[in-house]
Structure 1
């Protein structure tokens, strides 16, 4: 079967070059003519010309694609992000050229932001056009790719939708959080080691003695009636972390629709043991890692099921946008000011 377009382009068939502002008149005319020849619907072309960052040409100098960006705010997370746009000539759209251009621009902006505490953008974003989404039928919740220009793989996560239903994907620049700032320790711990610790997924009803221990632990830590706790636990997926055979943390999960993504996630609630009025949070990040790993094996790549795990913090934290340990990313603040963080299962997809 002969394809209308080449599925892959060799690096020897085109070259990607950066564009320096301000554009010379000849460059502006060439790009404008390219848009016209491809019937591109470009709003405010003068402004777009100022935003062009990379161009792709064939070996004989024919312009076949370009990539531009502008500073904006995330749809739901409201973070300052560099929104990237790619336009590729129709004969080259079924190739990896668009991703290659995005890879060049994202790497350039990440290098610029590295070590720059006053960088304007905290990441890059791209919006997938609605007609492309409809043709595909499904969208991936997480996309990772790497080209020779990239020092490490670039991971873009689904973070929201435009008013017309186009999905927004974000890649956050990884930076070190200021450790002098106090923060909610729901994911990150000052100490992450537990001596003689153990991890277990529990199915209520199989071990009456363990069921009673879990119910008593939760009733004590949440100051609830034992009968109401037992009914509550029947509706949860339960993980237990022990220290020296004593329960120190419960991980309770239940499915819920997150309207920000329009998908089902498992909400994760951690209940830690108290000691002299203080919560013992040691090992929380490791516990979250273990829970995610087990749930990921059970649910990854299953269309129509939950696509990941989320948890809520009581207020805005000073954690990095991507927790380097748990890999949960900042999704935004809900209407009660709580910080929402989530992570997708491997291969998670949504029907559109």
Structure 2
């Protein structure tokens, strides 16, 4: 083989390998509870991940009654362990889409969000934040109000916004949010009512939205799931979510739970499940975030044209960490 051919082959091999190379950005965490407490399990997870940024949910904004005169904060952050105070904390505010539909004054809403965000930061960290992430699954109908809100907030913060898969594929319709940075949420992508598929994450769904030619005009962090949940479906088709799964114990209680599939059960008689009273013929779907599936979805995004900076794992929670092989996942990123 000629030297020139060997050189070309070597360069092609290096290029191929680099596409699947290890992530070189930070691996950080979301914290999504009203009390940010520390524990040995959380400290170990932070040590393994190695990042120094914590995306800390400060509060939600919702307006459930369209006739109400104002939107209200919910699930406001109440407690922060001193162990987090040495970290780079990014406040996260979740805004429901219906709040935007009912919003007539985005400037007023932005002021309220900024005021409460600053108050929480001053109380727990002794300073106002420089960065802020807004989490909202906006649509075409709420795009105008949402983008106005973001522009107001951007006057005061280095602003970030969460992005869903449909907002990547259909960016011409949904628009590009006026922010400094985005976070692609790679979870909660499926149909909760489909009792045969995992709604948390699925590589087939990711590949429907992202391919090697997919791009996005702003750089993104990538949010990956660690959590598990139980989807409860009533005989009338109503859906409820319960944190965590308990499939192993359900398999042993054959008098109460009938296994219909690998992760699907039917309730045969009235019972309690994780503190919830459920009656006959309710169905339970156990959903998890397997490391191999999460890693494959991550690689699909990495091989696209999207500029990925850091990874954010959802989320820093003892129950979640206890059911997660974090070390296995980190090795594949």
The two structures have a TM-score, normalised by structure 2, of 0.23
Higher helix residue share: 2
The two structures have a TM-score, normalised by structure 1, of 0.22
Which is greater in Rg? 1
Higher strand residue share: 1
